[in-house]
Amino acid sequence: MYQQPQAPGFRPPPPPWVAEKAKKKRRIVLILVIVAVLAVLVGGGVTGAIFASRYYKSTGASPTSTPAPPECEALRPTMERLGVPNLAEIQVSLPSAAATSSKLTSCTWRPTPAEHVRYRSLAVSITAFTGPEAEQRASDYNPPTTGEVVPLPEISERAWFRIERSGDAHSRAELWAQRGTVQVWVMYSAKDKGFFADERLPGDVLVGEAKTAAMAAFDSAH
């Protein structure tokens, strides 16, 4: 696809989560300054140090040393844009000798160890069926009976998602979709760490990023 040349020195705008992260960091720095002053005034330096050590604990993970299969490697540019560039876990199940069989490729993406605010775990599973009943087998799945299950016609006629919330600001988006002989399953866990209390990721952001991962997974399976 033709792209118009950019002027010298042009830099594309950063993704929205970068600006949001910078905003939160400025707010946290102000809180840290206030806490430090209060700690000095009331002799609570130890308490302030405990809060600070918790806040600055890493929420990321180191990349696995296992070579990435092609389906996972193809996801890397998308995962980098979503702020989860490190491929932390890989699972591959090869097809069997049956007439209709499937290959399962799963990969879990995390932020880098330098990250300490954005907790993210984005697991993507791709199941590709082959054989005379491949498409029938790929469509042989029913949504869960618990929770609010929402269709996703913009991804596929057979696609749905749901969001689960916990009491500690942790949220999880579950997305399943089928196109032809391929199933994609996305499990996206997220929250933002706060100095005193953690923050939930907005539902539209959670689902939007899960949908982005699912569409990239379908592209990687072909």
Region of 203 on the Ramachandran plot (φ > 0 left; ψ -120 to 50 alpha; else beta): alpha
- 146-201 pLDDT, tens per residue? 778 999 999 999 999 999 887 788 899 999 999 999 999 999 999 998 878 889 99
- 121-141 pLDDT, tens per residue? 999 999 999 999 999 999 887
Residue whose pair of structure tokens reads 């005034």 in the numeric block: 41
Token output for 133: 């009943």
Q: Is pLDDT of 7 > 60?
A: no
Q: Is pLDDT of 217 > 90?
A: yes
| Cβ neighbourhood burial of 209 (10 Å; 0-12, 13-18, 19+) | buried
Give the other-Cβ count within 10 Å of 129's Cβ.
22
For 70, 83, 186, 220, the CA distances from 79, given in Å and listed in that order, are: 14, 6, 13, 13
